[in-house]
Amino acid sequence: MTPDSVPLLEVRGLKKYFPVRSGLVFDRKVGDIKAVDGVSFEIHRGETLGLVGESGSGKSTVGRSVLRLIEPSAGEVLLDGRDFLAVKGRELRRLRRRMQMIFQDPFASLDPRLPVHAIVSEPLEVEGGIGRKELRERVDHLLDLVGLDTGSRNRYPHEFSGGQRQRVGIARALALDPDLVVCDEAIASLDVSIQAQIVNLLQRLQEHFRFSYLFIAHDLSMVRHVSNRIAVMYLGKIVETAPTEALFDNPAHPYTRALMSAVPVPDPDIEATRRRIILEGDIPSPANPPRGCAFRTRCPVAMVRCSQQVPRTLEIGSGHFAACFRAAEPAAPP
């Protein structure tokens, strides 16, 4: 499916800082945890943007900030050109229905006290303006779309498997016909065989309804399968963005190269000759990020300049951007 040329969603300079407090009653601010620190990207209608990175890089915080499940500290979120962060009240409610989320843990995100029909119909009831018969038909249609028997509408979440619960979450997310769906590690807690089923379901639904995905994950092979473009995050910043195949064929940022080297190749002959890049140390604390380039403390090719300046994001190819002083250098063979 070919995405539209006009962005559905534009995110500019998004920041989310969590205050660090001290004192007997935690009344004194002593710093900030910079979970998201100046992230910018765009998503076109019908497109899937994959967002990848290590745990703690800020991926989920980006997704929640875009939907205003948590309020950003700064930046802009534009939905069809409208400033989503500036709207309030009825206008916020109208725009918010256009963006939905599928959560990582399908059990924790579903109310255990409600049967499936009540879980799926809740967004429709909140919006109002729909009769009881139409509501029932709509719920049954949504359950059928995600591959669930409509006879299961009166069952509770604990009566389903993990994959079935995630299908319920997908049905709930689709209830209001959204334009953008944020998948926050939506397959991470599922068995490998079930992951493929859920991903195929998500792709079929996208082809049918033509909505967009922000697909947050750490499984690069799965992200490659579903995404038109991929953005790589490290310590609250996006360090590289590119069309999917361009990123895999020519990763420009040292962090991206390290991530790619960890993706297994099914051909044993190729796998035996690949060079694995091992990053030493852990991801630094977002409360005290390194000066200059945030990746320099673990980068195998860091130089003095990296500790003195923050690298600008440069376009090194068609739609291929990287924030690294060495980005223009050719990548080493994997």
pLDDT bracket for residue 269 (50, 70, 90)? low
- Note the pLDDT of residue 334: 43
Instruction: Name the burial class of residue 133, with classes exposed (0-12), middle (13-18) and buried (19+) by CB atoms within 10 angstroms of its CB.
Output: exposed
Q: Is the pLDDT of residue 270 over 70?
A: no
Summary mean pLDDT of the chain: 89
- pLDDT tens by residue, 132-156: 899 999 999 999 999 999 888 999 9
- CATH, domain range 7-98+178-322: 3.40.50.300
pLDDT attached to residue 187:
87
Q: Where are the domains of the chain?
A: 7-98+178-322
Residue 295 near residue 234 (C-beta atoms within 8 A): yes
The confidence band for 43, taking pLDDT boundaries of 50, 70 and 90, is: very high
Task: Dig out the tokens for 139 from the structure.
Answer: 């719920």
Confidence of residue 64 (pLDDT cuts 50, 70, 90): very high
pLDDT beyond 70 at 5: no
Please compute the mean of the pLDDT values over residues 83-96 and round it to a whole number. Answer: 90
List the one residue out of 261, 273, 266, 263 whose CA is nearest residue 331: 261
Q: What is the pLDDT of residue 275?
A: 76
Rounded to two decimals, the pTM is: 0.90
Residue 318 near residue 249, CB atoms below 8 Å: no
Return all residues near 220 (Cβ < 8 A) that are at least 6 apart.
52, 259, 260, 262, 263
Band (pLDDT 50/70/90 cuts) for residue 29 is: confident
